[in-house]
Amino acid sequence: MEREEMIERFVKFFREYTEEEEPLYLGKIKDLLTVTPKRSVTINWMHLNSYDPELANEILEHPEEGIGAAEDAIQIILREEFLREDLPRIHARFHNLPETLLVKDIGAEHINKLIQVEGVITRVTEIKPFVSKAVFVCKDCGNEMVVTQRPYEGFTVIKKCEVCGSKNVTLDVDKSSFVNFQMFRIQDRPETLKGGQMPRFIDGILLDDIVDTAMPGDRVLVTGILRVVQERREKTPVFRKILEVNHIEPVSREIEELEITPEDEQKIRELAKRKDIVEAIVDSIAPAIYGYREVKKGIALALFGGVSRTLPDGTRLRGDIHVLLVGDPGVAKSQILRYVSNLAPRAIYTSGKSSSAAGLTAAAVRDEFTGGWVLEAGALVLADGGYALIDELDKMSDRDRSVIHEALEQQTISISKAGITATLNARTTVIAAANPKHGRFNRMKPLFEQIDLPPTLLSRFDLIFVLVDEPDEKLDSEIARHILRVRRGESEVVTPKISHELLRKYIAYAKKNVHPVISEEAMEEIEKYYVRMRRSAKKGSENEGIRPIPITARQLEALIRLSEAHARMRLSPIVTREDAREAIKLMEYTLRQIATDETGQIDVTILEVGQSARKLSKVERILDIIEKLQKTSEKGVHIDDILEEAKKFGIEKQEAREIIEKLLQQGQIYMPETGYYKLL
């Protein structure tokens, strides 16, 4: 099709296409004249296809000429309809193409065609000026030569004057035209890859007014022309793919990947009416694993999640529920995580041993195209709006593990690397698994002392489950029978009550459409429990020093999230008293496992500090004893004197010795002579 004919057809389309009897594109072009001038007109390809299919096909097959013709047509409309010739060239940007490709589907057949690609942005470069029209001036005769540059090719330079042949030619920056230039990398969404596939990526070029429209971690729909440039190693006839972007739009942050048809919605609604819907969902999680009802319930609640809210002052309250599984080897922790990664609508599975801080958050890498430093998004950023599953959390180094703190509570990741300071979103649900300090739990020692994770990290998890492998003849027999039946292929053993695909859609539907509000009865139930638990702390004797704290505001927040998730499982818009009771029951179950002190009382100080309040009081008491007694002796306080004094305060000799040993390891006291101790 000739260019003139294309321009005429576009002018006709802009003038005549109407929506609800209003000229749609004339209105869009008129908007260009408003106070805040726009530099683009977005054109829905489907509109063009319904009006002029031949022209719409021409855009796909010969996009460069087609887009140029559309831009010329916009200038004609501006001149003839609105009498404006002073506006700079306006871009025509096409979207809503008939086919959406994944990055891995882009091939040689798409070269120089207009394509639409969906994926997640992993890196973005800084914005730099790009010379779109380079003006070269001959210093001898003053002749000006204009060269149009292409963003994906090398810089085309004129070496000698076309008129006089002089080589004294320079680029005139003032007369040349510059636009903003930015590169980004887009890769396949993790959930579109089948097991073992490497995510493919493609670099894209953004120009002029569409720069800075996306951040690393954003899911986007990109329309552009596929270009090829020769690889740096010029001896090989292999070319690199680059996308010259025409239009970019972020995809909704909701879980949109699953297509839910009206029939699916009908099934979901029917399912929610079941009396035993919560039990059915719990039974459908990892049916091949025997038992663990509480753990499965906790994971089900994490999958549905609470409701995140942004307050008028800008404070964001998270709705994501974080779960930690700590247990002996062989209790199916990794298996549960693997199951969740297949079930959750948007999940990324990573193992702590093989994950670095940069791999989890973001890495600063040098971009091979521009040579500048760019941020590349890590697992927690890519899982934004979904689930991050971290196995072997205890195997990570402290430095790498510390980066998770901010992601768990603030749900952002702050980066300061290679001169780049940025805050990326990581609104993700974290489900992690870890082993005890010495590989297995020792039943003779308190469980919390055997979890090799810092208290600052532990306290950020809403639910912590301890899975202890204890011999029990009846239970062992049932587990063995279950595993044998699974291995024999008895389908009724592993068939979930709700099919895998329907449960995925149920979770996605609930997260997208159900936002429960807490009822007065539920508020009353949670408040009553919170106050009752706090009151129990006062019953301790006054001379105990640091009192045990059975519950803090952090657990209160967790109770609210769990109650909302329980209501969401039933697709209920209201959180009832029953939802609150179920949340309290589960919270109490986990606290009893992990946060009970020497006397059997719940004390969340264990999670916050790593020691119970009673133990902390005794530690303070021992330090006071050493401080008081060392004033009378230059070489320190003898251990027998410390033990004698500690006994007066009800601290047994064995416990006092353990406390002294720990203080010595922590460097709070030292031993000037054998058997003598002093404060540092």
Eight-class DSSP state of 238: -
Place of tokens 């010029």: 234
Residue 632 makes CB contacts below 8 A (sequence gap 6+) with none
**Residue environment code for 57-71, b if the CB has 16+ CB neighbours within 10 A, otherwise e:** ebbbebbeebbebbb
Q: What is the pLDDT of residue 546?
A: 57
The Cα 435–Cα 325 span in angstroms is: 8
- The predicted structure's pLDDT at residue 633: 73
pLDDT classification of 346: cutoffs 50, 70, 90? confident
Give the integer Cα–Cα distance in Å for 149 and 139: 22
Is 552 a residue whose pLDDT tops 80?
no
571: CB partners within 8 A, 6+ apart? 268, 269, 272, 509, 510, 514
Residues across the chain: 680
pLDDT in tens, 559-584: 999 999 999 988 889 999 998 999 88
Q: What are phi and psi of 8, to 5 degrees?
A: -60, -45
The residue ranking higher by pLDDT, 207 or 256, is: 207
Instruction: Give the mean model confidence (pLDDT) for residues 114-140.
Output: 87
CA distances for 530 relative to 537, 558, 565, 581, 589, angstroms: 11, 12, 19, 12, 15
Expressed in angstroms, the distance from the first to the final Cα of the chain is 88
The pLDDT tens digits for 38-76 are 788 888 989 888 988 898 898 899 998 988 898 888 888
Q: What is the pLDDT of residue 541?
A: 42
Mean pLDDT within 148-174:
84
Task: Assess whether pLDDT exceeds 60 at residue 35.
Answer: no
Which tens digits make up the pLDDT trace of 270-320? Answer: 888 888 888 888 888 888 888 888 888 999 999 888 888 888 887 888 888
653 or 42, greater pLDDT = 42
Residues 454-510 pLDDT 10s: 777 887 888 888 888 778 888 888 888 888 888 887 777 677 788 888 888 888 888
Please give the share of the chain, as a percent, with pLDDT higher than 90: 4
Q: Residue 542's pLDDT band (boundaries 50, 70, 90)?
A: very low
Of the ranges 212-226, 355-369, 606-620, the best mean pLDDT one: 212-226
Burial 13-48 (b: 16+ CB within 10 A, else e): bbbebeeeeebebbebbeebeeeeeeebbbbbbebb
| Mean pLDDT for all residues in the chain | 81
Q: What's the pLDDT tens digit per position in 369-419?
A: 666 677 777 788 877 778 888 888 888 777 777 778 777 878 888 877 767
SS3 call for 70: helix
The two tokens of residue 82 are 């609105």
Q: What letter does residue 365 receive in the DSSP assignment?
A: E
Confidence check: pLDDT of 545 > 60? no
Q: What is the pLDDT of residue 597?
A: 62
Distances (CA, A) of 439 to 254, 465, 611: 39, 16, 21
Question: CA–CA separation, 488 vs 494, rounded Å?
Answer: 11
pLDDT > 70 in the chain, percent: 89
Given pLDDT bands bounded at 50, 70 and 90, which one contains residue 254? Answer: very low
Rounded CA-CA distance 637/676 in Å is 5
Instruction: Give the pLDDT score at 371.
Output: 66
Backbone angles phi and psi of 336, in degrees to 5 = -65, -45
What is the spatial distance between Cα 122 and Cα 142, in angstroms, rounded to a whole number? 47
In this structure, what DSSP letter does residue 312 have? Answer: T
Whether pLDDT at 193 is above 80 = no
Q: For 441-445, what is the mean pLDDT?
A: 73
**pLDDT of residue 223 exceeding 90:** yes
Q: Enter the DSSP assignment of 634.
A: T
Give the pLDDT score at 543: 45
Predicted local confidence at residue 387, as pLDDT: 86
**Contact at 8 Å (CB) between 322 and 460?**
yes
Section 438-450 average pLDDT: 74
pLDDT > 50? residue 255 = no
pTM over 0.75, yes/no: no
